Amino acid sequence: MTNLPLLSLLIGLPLLGAFVLGMGQLKEQARNLAIGLSTLQLVILGYLFTAFDKSSGIFQFNESHNWFSISLGSMGSFMSKYTLGVDGLSISLILLTGLITWVALWNSTEIKEKLGAYYALVLLLNASLMGCFLAKDLFLFYVFFEFMLLPMYFLIGIWGGPRRNYASLKFFIYTLVGSLFILIVMLGMGLAYVDPYETALLNGLIRPEQGFNIDALKAVQLMIQSQELATSSLVHSFDMQALMDYNNCQITSILHPSSGWLLGGLSAREWGFWLLFIGFAIKLPMVPLHTWLPDAHVEAPTPISVLLAGVLLKIGAYGWLRITIPFFLPEALIAAPILAGLGALSIIYGAYNALAMKDLKKLVAYSSVSHMGFVLLGIAAFTAEGWQGAIFQTISHGILSALLFLLVGVLYSRTGDREIDSYSGIVTLMPRFTVISGIAIFASLGMPGFSGFIGEFFSLMGAFTSPFLHPAYAIIGALGLLLGAGYLLWTFQKIYLGKLYLKNADWSLPDLNKLEMISLFGLGIISILLGIYPGLLFELSEKFVTTLLK
């Protein structure tokens, strides 16, 4: 199995399924094919998880192929590669993507029309997400990042609720604006930075079979900085590793640290940092760039809300840790207090809005804004515990938000109503449903023994001990835990406890069926497992965190 291009298969299998289903020949078997391919993807992910070397801080299972190369005339040449890899940051996210997609596909029984198109788009979304988490080339990442817009736009716009056109358009425009910001920085860095290895090859400084050690790297970088090499002999690329080192930046570029270029009081590198930060903040989503999320969740069908909250929002945090901070680390450190303030604002604002919500989907959507604020607060700490907490919270929220939206979907599928005031005391009718709802709610409010506690605790600890932040940020963030307990416990007490009341006496509320039992309790068990043994995730990401923070 090691000889197979496993990472390409993670992307290629759902792409192949999407193509076959898109041809419209397998309408009746669309669901089975999609679930079968997703199951095969999970098998591959299981192998990658067991074979992953946790003690290594470098990319593993690497695949690299030349994609295209073009001449830029006097500016040299530009090349892009199809390069994939897995490290301590991406391994947990691809596992999450595979699991949540599999759960969403199994729970798509409410979809009754255009089955081939629906399952094709879900598989296409899965392939795009996998591509984002696996790409080592910024151009390749951007292709997958942009392509992700289309399936989600159509999934909401075709199978969504009454205001689906408005919600899908709002989602598309917000994300497109963020993509534009990322594109601007990507173009600037592509022209400013030089790929030292490819440049050395082109200029005959090394042979293809030769290794490229640290001494050879420094020698080429010295030539780049001293302008010994003609600009026409330079090779530009979007290799992420090359873009992380500003020694590969041409000294004549406005992105070079010594450049005196200013616009509005900010240097080009500061502009680059903030454009990337905002571009990914829209995906998180961070207050005040979050307003697309409640509309998208309310109108999206349940399995699409599961994918949106469980995986799609994680692209924002991943983009910060993989691209924004490594590319502009000095600028990020200076901005740490602002980032922490925005994280604390998201925590409090999201929780306050959740307190006011009557619609269960909107409540869970605003709780996502609040919980993802802990991710930004942990990242802004720039400490090992803060980053570990942020990564853990990203995965934990993916599990718990998927669980919460599935729970809302169970009620909505039986009654067509999501209003909190429409229910009371349903524990007498749905005891198993009440048990798993209790697990989801107590895990989400951060009770010890669940994954939510671990992620929030270490994010707050990182912020509290950070040399870059005042402890007040952590204290403000901790207030979000109290607000979270308020809206979650009130919801649990209102819907499940007390005297039985249903808004419509004709409603039938049978307890969970087998599929719902497996899906809901399966996600609940994962949350408990991670809460009891957080080392399962911490060990995966430890080397990535310590290596980057050095």
Q: How far apart are CA 382 and CA 394, in angstroms?
A: 16
| Mean pLDDT computed over 212-222 | 84
Q: What mean pLDDT is reported for the chain?
A: 92
Count the alpha carbons within 13 Å of 278 in the hemisphere toward its beta carbon. 16
pLDDT at 62 over 80: yes
Beta bridge pairs of residue 237: 79
Does residue 524 or residue 498 have the better pLDDT?
524
pLDDT digits (tens, 9 = 90+) for 72-123: 888 889 999 999 999 999 999 999 999 999 999 999 998 888 888 999 999 9
| Mean pLDDT computed over 205-225 | 82
pLDDT at 156 over 90: yes
Written as one string, the DSSP assignment of 293-323 is HHHHHHHS-HHHHHHIIIIITHHHHHHIIII
CA angle 410, 413, 418 (to 5 degrees): 80
Closest CA to 47 of 101, 10, 83: 10
Secondary element (H or E) of residue 55: none
Burial class of 363 by CB neighbour count within 10 A (0 to 12, 13 to 18, 19+): buried
What are the φ/ψ torsions at residue 112 (nearest 5 degrees)?
-115, -15
pLDDT digits (tens, 9 = 90+) for 19-48: 999 887 677 788 999 999 999 999 999 999
What are the φ/ψ torsions at residue 435 (nearest 5 degrees)?
-60, -50
Give residue 209's pLDDT.
67
The DSSP bridge pattern shows strands 235-237 and 77-86 to be parallel
Q: Which of 215-219, 346-350, 396-400, 528-532 is predicted with the least confidence, judged by mean pLDDT?
A: 215-219
Burial class of 138 by CB neighbour count within 10 A (0 to 12, 13 to 18, 19+): buried
pLDDT at 543 over 90: yes
Q: Are 394 and 465 in contact (CB under 8 A)?
A: no
